[in-house]
Amino acid sequence: MNASHDGAAAGKAQIKPGIFLRPWVFLRGAPAMKFLPPEGPPEVAFAGRSNVGKSSLINALIVQRGLARTSNTPGRTQELNFFVPDGYSGADGDLPPMAIIDMPGYGFAKAPKAQVDAWTEMVFDYLRGRVTLKRVFLLIDARHGIKTNDEEVMDLLDKAAVSYQVVLTKIDKIKPPAVEKLLAATEAQLKRRAAAFPEIVATSSEKGHGMDELRDAIARAVTDG
């Protein structure tokens, strides 16, 4: 029996990038770990600093404006929001083939410190402990590059052996040579990191750059992970 047969026998999801062009729905928002849906379908999570463009990127990827709520003000997303392809009841045996999780940002929020600490703890607990989490897409604002709190998240993911892939966001805000320079510098940084995926995806939700590449990367992560 070859590897692909093994995968099929184990009920592994075979996800194709076209899944993102079908309708998706909001399944649930979890304000704390105890409200998470039971572990089932493979998941990918979008993580990153507040305002980096996580929710915007999910909308651009799935081509559904307003599916994930976005805002000019950092701290918009306050729960772990689960999105799944439409048309599954959620009952045993009729589970969606995968889920995408939009996470609260870290690093800044116009909220009391206790609230920010609680979100950060939930984000870290989820990233560290979710068995069905196949890959974390770690979003980095192309204007700012990797910051100290991004490094803390990478340290945690390296330590927990959770695969992650860096996605540059808002590349429409900088010139193409600056994108190339940042890609090279970031690639060099990632070489030292145990759980980092070597390829970086450069995106703009506003202009649609990098969407097909990101769809491919997610489909592969869910299928192979």
Ligand X SMILES: Nc1nc2c(ncn2[C@@H]2O[C@H](COP(=O)(O)OP(=O)(O)OP(=O)(O)O)[C@@H](O)[C@H]2O)c(=O)[nH]1
**Which residues are near ligand X by CB under 6 A?**
48, 50-56, 70-72, 74-77, 104-105, 169-170, 172-173, 204-206
Q: How far apart are the first and last CA of the chain?
A: 19
Coil/strand/helix, residue 81: strand
Regarding beta strands 24-30 and 80-85, do their DSSP bridges make them parallel or antiparallel, or are they unpaired? antiparallel
- Of 206 and 224, which CB lies nearer to ligand X in the complex structure? 206
The entry of Mg ion, ligand X, none near residue 173 (CB within 5 to 8 angstroms by kind) is ligand X
Task: Looking at the chain, list the stretches that DSSP marks H as alpha helix, in order from N- to C-terminal side.
Answer: 3-9, 54-62, 113-129, 148-160, 176-190, 211-224
Q: Could you say which of ligand X, Mg ion, none residue 205 binds, taking C-beta under 5 to 8 angstroms by partner kind? A: ligand X
- The upper half-sphere exposure of residue 79, i.e. CA atoms within 13 Å in the direction of its Cβ, equals 16
Distance CA 84, CA 87 (A): 9
Residue nearer to ligand X on the CB measure, 165 or 169: 169
Look at residue 56 and give the partner it binds from Mg ion, ligand X, none, a contact being a CB closer than 5 to 8 Å depending on partner kind: ligand X
Are the CB atoms for 45 and 99 separated by under 8 Å? Answer: no
Per DSSP bridges, beta strands 201-202 and 80-85 are: unpaired
Nearest approach, Cβ of 66 to ligand X (angstroms)?
A: 11
The answer to the question of residue 169 lying near Mg ion (CB under 5 A) is no
Query: Closer to Mg ion at the Cβ: 102 or 154?
Result: 102
Q: What backbone phi and psi angles, to 5 degrees, belong to 44?
A: -125, 145
Instruction: Report what 186 binds from ligand X, Mg ion, none; CB cut-off 5-8 Å by kind.
Output: none
Q: Does 76 bind Mg ion (CB under 5 A)?
A: yes
Name the residue nearer to ligand X (CB basis): 158 or 206: 206
Residue with token string 């800044």: 108
215 contacts which partner out of Mg ion, ligand X, none, CB within 5 to 8 A by kind? none
Among 77, 186, 203, 204, binds Mg ion (CB under 5 A): 77
The Cβ of residue 170 has, within 10 Å, a number of other Cβ atoms equal to 23
What angle is formed at CA 137 by the lines to CA 61 and CA 177, rounded to 5 degrees? 80
Closer of 2 and 72 to ligand X (Cβ): 72
Residue placing its CB nearer to Mg ion in the complex, 36 or 160:
36
How far apart are CB 207 and Mg ion at their closest, in Å?
19
Q: Does the protein bind Mg ion through residue 59 (CB under 5 A)? A: no
Binding site for Mg ion (CB under 5 A): 54-55, 76-77
